Structure 1
Amino acid sequence: MFAASEVVQCGIQVDVIVYNSALTACGRASEWQRALELLRSVDAGGLLPTVVTFGAAISATERAAKWPEALLLLEDLGRRGLQPNVILCSSAVSACEKAAEWQQALGLLVEMQALEVQANIITCNSAISACGASSEWRQSLHLLEELDAMSMQADIISFNAAISACESAGAWDAGLAVLQSLSSRDLQMDLITWNTAISACEKAGKWPEALQLLAGLGESSYEPDEITYNAAISACEKAAEWKLALQLLLEVQHGPLRPSVVTFSAAISACEKAGMWRQVLVLLSSLANEGLQPSLITMNAAISACEKAAEWRKAVLLLSQLRAAKQVPDIITYSALVSACEKASRWQHAVVLLTEFSATGGQPNLITYSSAICACEHAAEWRQAFVLMAAAANSSIELDAITYGHAISACEHAGQPEPTLHLLGAFDGILAESLDPTLLLGLENPRY
């Protein structure tokens, strides 16, 4: 980029207007550091920067979310006796919004009042979004309500920002209440509004409302996009409404949109929650036919579906596919695999998988060890159960009463009284630690 400072080096006289143009170009190219260098060159050249000069510099910092630099520039402008305008202040608020600095954004709104600079809807929308980015949804709603007091008409962007703030913070009911208040205003919902509302329903577990909104979107002038369908399918997934999830996936496949890995993952997870492992495998095949690569989350959901049905061979086969895709299985993967083997009474495979995970640098947790010990219980393999308990202790994992119960049962099935008594002694200590002390106090003075 041919900067004004380079023009000066060529011996050509430049004025502040040239610098303003160069600063604007830096901002558009996200070269905020170069913009600040140019601003310093204005002073070094004996020129007087104007409000436009500072505006271009603040805009450059705003694009890069450099809010401290934006605020410093505003202070510098004031020290020079220049009066900031709403455009400069809005850019500074937007810089705070991009960095999720909601307190700084609200502070600027207060400072604007002190400077008698009238905020506009762009300024306020940035402040609402800044609060939302920090999960300060109550502040977002407060600002939305304050727009009326400021004699300012909220637009659809204002409502989108407020609904998004509620959705991000998990205040789904509040977000849906804001959505309902739109009906009393002469505002047209856009695609962002529809998507944010459907996402709020999804996170609130309100799948019927999510599907109603999807139907309403179909009757509007907007077409649902991938984000819309992903949120709707995910809403069905959380309620294990696998048939509805598959129906929505078919709509995507037969329409102008192309399903993504996220779309398939949500549908697979819906089937997994409902124990429909065969449907899961069909979906994995469809995903591959679309030329998509399943993510680790997708594969974990598929393995978990097989685990619920004790389909341990299918689960291990999926592990091979996961590795073939050069993905690294994690604790969720191996916990599901060990549990699948445990449900199928395949204790040897469970132990091999747990050992394999440890050998690759993984750290089995209580759930993994408990599943493997439970597998040993089914086969009365008390010695192997003891080995696993020792391995857990070496990994600083404190086994719970349930796990001890599996080991004790393994000893009993094998007719081993001495190990059983040994474990019972340790079990009594764990059981006492897990009891509420107030219950023990109540036992001292029993009532008849």
Structure 2
Amino acid sequence: MRPRGPSLLAYNTAIFACQSQKNWELVVKILLEMRHKRCQPDAKTCSRAILACGQLWQQALAFNAYLQLAGVKPNSITTSALISSCARASRWQLSLAFVEFDGASSTVVFNAAMTACVKGSKWPAALLLLRRISALHLLPDLFSFNVAIHGCEVGGGAWVTALQLLEEMSCMMLQPDLVSINSCISTCAEGLRWAAAVQLLGQMADRQVQPDLVSYNAAMSAVGRGQLWRAALQLLQALPCKPNMISFNTAMAACERAGHWKHVIALLEKLRDNKMTPDMRTWTSLVASFSRASDWVKAQSILTEIRLQDLDPDLVIFGATATAFQRGHQWALALSLLPETHNLQVVPDERLCGSVVTACAASQAWQAALSCLVEFPRRNLQPTSTSSSPVLTALLDVQQWLMALHLFEHLQHVVAMDSQAYGRLLLVCEQHQFTEWQHRLLQSLASPRGPARHTPGRLSLAAAVAAQSAGLGMVPAVSRESAPDPASIPRAHSWTPYVKEIRLMEHILRNAERGNPHSVCDEVESFGRHVSGSSKTWLKVAGGEKSEVLWAAAQHARSSLVLEIGTYCGNSSIRIATASPNIRVVTLEADPVHAVIARAVIAFAGLSSRVDVWTGHSREVLPYMQGKYGGARGGFGLVFMDQRGSRYQEDLTMLESLGLVRPGAIIVADNVLKPGAPLFLWQLCKSGKYQTQVVRVSEFAMPVEDWMLVCRVGKQSMCACESLACPPAALVDLDQAADLMRRKAQTLGGVSFSDWAEFTTEMREGLRQWGIMPTTDANGLRKVMDQHWTPLQEETRSTHQKVPRSSAAIVASYRTQS
């Protein structure tokens, strides 16, 4: 006779109570009692027992196996429970093992598997499962789409896919609900698509969905990430209900990103007026705001207030405070943060320690910076270029050159150093004749950890380094058969650093005639047109009409000594040198990889004896040149500036103050329209010291207009910055816009030709309003020079005519003996 006991309903109710408390041990006892009482479990028993396991997926599998042996047939409910248990334990792969892809599984099972994939941050797998539902002729429901859209949010803002899924719901006669649209808005926020997020918020009424606080918070996050802090404040004011802590924190973060710390303070007061207590995210926004404003005093006061509230600052707070101390040059306070993190058992990360190192280095407390950097391995941190370069800079600034070199040699095995560090150290080696160190640095430059480590063709760079180490004028040995065609630059590598320049060097070595400068320049322009036409990666050389302007300026210079700032790959140096056999070019290049390539190209052209390539930034190299080329030596007769346009003004002022440009010298500046040098144009065009011509030219290998400024320095002794009124605010704004465009051109994707044309039009109209316009073209410039500026050849001839015959004979005799 069957023993009497509790019913199945009673047992299932008891297991349900265990499920809510995740008490799987008690479930074991209940299942044993059911077996003793011969009470047959069902699917509800199985699913609730599995869910009671929580993240203990092994126990869930054990329950499933036990109950199947007890006669419980698996169905969509039990399978979904098992998948959910695996999902809680981040075992999304195991979850897929319970899905039958032949059509036996239901939509409920697929939904559970999709949820597991999303929780495991495998949102593409969730999308594949959604497509599989339709392929099996099952009907995905509202929950299916909501999980998939949420997966797009988790996937880092796959906003296009999310919007497509929202449209698919309408096509399948499924009405998107509040969860659907809120997830889409959040996905757009993650994808930095604030316009799409705001549009979705505005369309909610048309979809008959009432937006809630989550909707507005998500939209605020989107516009905040888009730097639209005013829009974030407007959305905060338009909330349909009382704002919560997330609302205030999101609006504060938007204002913080835009650098408006006063609005962050005002929002803090409103938060307190609403009887809310600031949390760590609130304090983080405040500290970050003061950090951006370089107000270390207020950042320190926030940290003090956090301590007074018995809160423990987290790593983000410490990092933002360290950055504020760094920008405020308070290295001692920044250094004091590290012991405090130890007391609070907060493990410092690379950002915090890097900010402390940079704060010490920027204040020339190089001993403290070096000591902190040495502590990185003990803290299980890996030094990076960001944390190491400031220490090297500090050592170089205090003339601890050998210590900097030894530190670099130690770091290069663990840190991929940037080109700026290489450039400064190579400059030291060149100035102080550290030949052995220079060779070691150059070899490291072309090593697998150098700046060109990801570049195809790095071996060609290594060959160029080896040739230069062997001696002046040596040409790298690059096989003509192995050197690739310009069109072989893969699209995936089109924005890899230095790939274009190395390919240019290989192209010249393969196709140009050695010892023929004109052949080399022709191949540079041929390569530039080929690359610009195929991969849309523009080659920044002064070719075409610009080379004609350079040629004319070199022929009309009153001295054979020429300075170029911005060597790049050596094309302009070669052009200038070919204008006259007497010309000697000194050219500066801040990027050491470009300098190596330029030396190889110049050596191949046979001009190494007449073109000196210096590695380093103009602000560091020019003072060193004063003793060698300034003063009684007369200075340079021609200066070609082809670096960043916002430096033209500063470099010209330095050249004149150091006596490196002689009266009557010609100054040529490229790209004064595209991307532009408005303040430099204002300075030279409005000064009476210069005979100025603004030359209209076509940009090389790009259907865009550009200008070159060509001027002759007068005989006055005043510096370029004297006796000039302050430039209009509109020109200052144009100058900032030009710098932003330069930075954009250097990022991944760059700037398209159409965008360049549009920006050039805006720059031209902005300059025109202040009377700055082209005065001639390349052909007209030559006529002006021929009529008013004495060519180099004529001046040289007239100088020789003044020498007595006997003196000339003595000079000729001395040269013969030499």
Indicate whether the TM-score tops 0.5. yes
Q: Say yes or no: does 1:194 pair with 2:181.
A: yes
> What SS does structure 1 have at the residue aligned with 2:227?
coil
Find the partner of 1:358 among 339, 359, 377. 339
Find the partner of 1:180 among 146, 167, 170. 167
TM-score, normalised by the number of residues in structure 1: 0.80
**Pairwise mapping of residues 34-433 of structure 1 onto structure 2 (< 5 A)?**
34-45=26-37, 47-50=38-41, 52=42, 55-65=44-54, 66-110=56-100, 118-170=104-156, 172=158, 173-252=160-239, 255-260=240-245, 262-344=246-328, 347=329, 349-359=330-340, 361=342, 363=348, 365-374=353-362, 376-377=363-364, 384-394=365-375, 396=377, 398=383, 400-409=388-397, 411=398, 420-426=400-406, 429=409, 431=422, 432=441
Q: Say yes or no: does 1:444 pair with 2:466.
A: yes
Does the C-alpha gap of structure 1 residues 105 and 333 become closer, same or farther in structure 2, counting only changes over 3 Å? closer
Aligned counterparts of 1:178 and 1:232: Cα–Cα separation in 2: 19
Give 1:143 shift: 1.9
Instruction: String of CA shifts for 1:20-56, please: whole Å, max 9, x gaps.
Output: 42233321442443233111112223x1524x2x531
Give 1:111 shift: 9.1
Q: Say yes or no: does 1:14 pair with 2:24.
A: no
> What SS does structure 1 have at the residue aligned with 2:230?
helix
**Greater mean deviation of Cα atoms: 63-72 or 131-140:** 63-72
> What SS does structure 1 have at the residue aligned with 2:242?
coil
Conserved 8 A contact 1:334-1:354 = no
Conserved 8 A contact 1:201-1:207 = yes
- Give 2:170's aligned amino acid: S
Does the C-alpha gap of structure 1 residues 74 and 385 become closer, same or farther in structure 2, counting only changes over 3 Å? closer
Conserved 8 A contact 1:20-1:56 = no
Conserved 8 A contact 1:58-1:70 = no
- Give 1:18's aligned amino acid: S
The structure that is strand-richer by fraction is: 2
Conserved 8 A contact 2:76-2:108 = no
Give 1:304 shift: 1.9
Instruction: String of CA shifts for 1:141-198, please: whole Å, max 9, x gaps.
Output: 2221222333322111110011112221226133332223223120111111011111
> What SS does structure 2 have at the residue aligned with 1:56?
helix
Aligned counterparts of 1:395 and 1:143: Cα–Cα separation in 2: 45
Give 1:210 shift: 0.8
TM-score, normalised by the number of residues in structure 2: 0.46
Give 1:89 shift: 3.2
Conserved 8 A contact 1:311-1:340 = yes
Aligned counterparts of 2:80 and 2:340: Cα–Cα separation in 1: 56
Does the C-alpha gap of structure 1 residues 124 and 294 become closer, same or farther in structure 2, counting only changes over 3 Å? same
- Give 2:108's aligned amino acid: I
> What SS does structure 2 have at the residue aligned with 1:110?
coil
Instruction: String of CA shifts for 1:305-339, please: whole Å, max 9, x gaps.
Output: 11222222222222222222222234543443344
Aligned counterparts of 1:370 and 1:222: Cα–Cα separation in 2: 51
Aligned counterparts of 2:331 and 2:292: Cα–Cα separation in 1: 15
**Greater mean deviation of Cα atoms: 315-324 or 24-33:** 24-33
The structure that is helix-richer by fraction is: 1
| 1:6 matched residue in structure 2 | none
> What SS does structure 2 have at the residue aligned with 1:189?
coil
Does the C-alpha gap of structure 1 residues 428 and 441 become closer, same or farther in structure 2, counting only changes over 3 Å? farther
Conserved 8 A contact 2:178-2:211 = yes
- Give 2:264's aligned amino acid: V
Q: Say yes or no: does 1:435 pair with 2:435.
A: no
Aligned counterparts of 1:199 and 1:78: Cα–Cα separation in 2: 42
Does the C-alpha gap of structure 1 residues 134 and 388 become closer, same or farther in structure 2, counting only changes over 3 Å? closer
Conserved 8 A contact 1:124-1:143 = yes
Does the C-alpha gap of structure 1 residues 222 and 395 become closer, same or farther in structure 2, counting only changes over 3 Å? same
Give 1:112 shift: 9.2
**Greater mean deviation of Cα atoms: 211-220 or 434-443:** 434-443
Aligned counterparts of 1:82 and 1:390: Cα–Cα separation in 2: 67
> What SS does structure 2 have at the residue aligned with 1:365?
helix
Give 1:422 shift: 4.3
Aligned counterparts of 2:317 and 2:57: Cα–Cα separation in 1: 42
Give 1:212 shift: 0.9
In structure 2, runs of 5+ residues without a counterpart are 412-421, 423-440, 448-457, 468-474, 476-599, 604-818
**RMSD across aligned positions (CA):** 3.0
Aligned counterparts of 2:260 and 2:464: Cα–Cα separation in 1: 47
> What SS does structure 1 have at the residue aligned with 2:137?
coil
| 2:12 matched residue in structure 1 | 23
Conserved 8 A contact 1:191-1:224 = yes
Give 1:88 shift: 3.1
Aligned counterparts of 2:281 and 2:24: Cα–Cα separation in 1: 38
Conserved 8 A contact 1:272-1:304 = yes
